[in-house]
Amino acid sequence: MKKSYFLLFSFALTVSGCSLLQQENNFNLTEQEVTSILNDACTIKREKRQRYKIDGKRYKTLSSSKGYKKRGIASWYGSDFDGKQTACGEEYDMYDFTAAHKTLPLPSYVRVQNLRNGKTVIVKVNDRGPFIDDRLIDLSYAAAKKIDMLDSGTSPVRIFAVSEAEAANYFKNNEKSIFSLSIFEKIVNRNRRSITLQVGAFSNSDGANSLKKRIESLGVKNVFISKARSKRKTFHRVRIGPVKTSKEYEDAIRKLSSLSLDINLISD
């Protein structure tokens, strides 16, 4: 009899800001561990004040991020910029916890709190922007998803500068990328099985069929609907798979990034 192992891995994680602060207060990492975890690929470091002009407006960067805190509006940017060079010289990865800011030194690390729901994430500031007057920070797709602001597009936030040690501690205890390829590879290697992505579950077939068509229109292959009964109810689960290779996994996640979905990995 074939069994399905539902991995306890939902990418819509809910962690309270209070519990995060309790976790982050114990920094027992060595300097070498901090350097290794942060894996800083920035080739352009701007420790001193720097002036630049965008669309006729002048900006002057801060000499240090220490003590920085501010409230404002956060937005996010995704697949249109994925793989392009950031202002600090490394490639933008929409699945890592990063951000763009107009004046913080590159790189800097800040904690971002969504004031609508209290959810927080620590990000690496490695890019410049957003160059819109009422925007404070531009988050990566992954960071925006972590604090549940993909649907709204923007959200009021509070940001605090954190030390490299605190950022490294956070990244060590929280997967830096919510769609990390390493997660996929660990599951496949451990179970010697292919992976199925579950992207939605509906009590009626119309909703499931509608999502299936939307996903297929993005060029995603092997989308199917699986029925399951639970407590006398029938659920129509929209799934993609089997996903057998890292390339197939990355391709599917990239195409799904334009939709706001709670994606679960299932090992069959």
Same domain, 140 and 48: yes
The total domain count for the chain is: 2
Same domain, 193 and 246: yes
Same domain, 24 and 100: yes
Same domain, 169 and 243: no
Q: How far apart are CA 254 and CA 252, in angstroms?
A: 5
Same domain, 45 and 164: yes
pLDDT of the residue at 159:
98
* pLDDT by residue, tens only, the chain of 268 residues: 333 333 333 343 222 233 333 344 456 788 888 887 887 888 876 555 688 888 889 999 998 999 999 999 999 987 778 778 999 888 888 778 999 999 999 999 999 999 999 999 999 999 999 998 889 999 998 899 889 898 888 999 999 999 999 998 888 877 655 555 666 666 666 555 678 888 888 888 999 999 999 999 999 999 999 988 776 788 899 999 888 887 888 788 888 877 777 777 776 5
> Is residue 204 one of the residues assigned to a domain?
yes
By DSSP bridging, strand 155-161 and strand 69-77 are antiparallel
Of 112, 147, 173, which residue sits at a domain end? 173
pLDDT of the residue at 19:
32
> Is residue 1 one of the residues assigned to a domain?
no
Q: How far apart are CA 3 and CA 140, in angstroms?
A: 37
Domain of residue 220, residue span: 181-267
Q: How far apart are CA 14 and CA 157, in angstroms?
A: 17
pLDDT of the residue at 164:
92
Read off the CATH number of the domain in which 227 is found: 3.30.70.1070
